[in-house]
A = this chain, B = another copy of it.
Amino acid sequence: MMADTLKLKEEDTIRVSEGNLRETAISLFEKMGVPKDDCRLAADAMVTADLRGVSSHGVSNILQKYVLAYQKGLNNPRPQMRILRQSPATASIDCDRGLGIIIAPKAMEIAIEKAKNVGLGMVTMMNGRHMGMASYHAMIALKHDMIGMCMTSIGPGMPPTFGAEPRLGTNPIAVAAPADKEAPFVFDAATTVIAMNKLLLARRSGIKLSPGWVADANGTPIMEEVDPPEPNSTMLLPLGSTREMGSHKGYGLACVVDIFSGILTGGGYGAFAGDSSTGAIGGARCNHCVVAYNIESFMEVAQFKKTMDEWLVMLKSTKPAPGHDRVYYPGLLEAECEIEYRAKGIPLHTEVVGWIRGICNKFDIDCYV
Whether A263 contacts B311 by the Cβ 8 Å rule is: yes
Residues of B contacting A308 in the complex (Cβ-Cβ under 8 angstroms): 259, 263
Bound Cα distance A210, B347 (Å) = 42
Whether B118 contacts A87 by the Cβ 8 Å rule is: yes
Whether B319 contacts A164 by the Cβ 8 Å rule is: yes
Copies in the assembly, this chain: 2
Residues of B contacting A88 in the complex (Cβ-Cβ under 8 angstroms): 88-89, 117-119
Among residues of B, the one whose C-beta sits closest to the C-beta of A162 is B324
Among residues of B, the one whose C-beta sits closest to the C-beta of A268 is B307
Residues of B contacting A118 in the complex (Cβ-Cβ under 8 angstroms): 87-90, 118
Among residues of B, the one whose C-beta sits closest to the C-beta of A263 is B307
Most buried by B among A120, A219, A250: A120
Whether B189 contacts A321 by the Cβ 8 Å rule is: no
Distance between A138 CB and nearest chain B CB, rounded to angstroms: 11
Q: Is A80's CB within 8 Å of the partner chain B?
A: no
Residues of B contacting A307 in the complex (Cβ-Cβ under 8 angstroms): 263, 268-269
Residues of B contacting A243 in the complex (Cβ-Cβ under 8 angstroms): 1
Contact for A175 among B119, B256, B321, CB less than 8 A:
B256
Residues of B contacting A120 in the complex (Cβ-Cβ under 8 angstroms): 89-90, 120, 122
Question: What 3 A-B pairs have minimum CB-CB distances, sorted nearest first?
Answer: A219-B321, A87-B119, A90-B119
- List 17 contacting pairs A-B, 8 Å CB cutoff, sorted by A: A88-B118, A89-B119, A118-B118, A120-B120, A159-B318, A162-B328, A187-B255, A189-B246, A210-B245, A219-B319, A240-B240, A241-B241, A251-B330, A253-B253, A255-B329, A264-B299, A269-B307
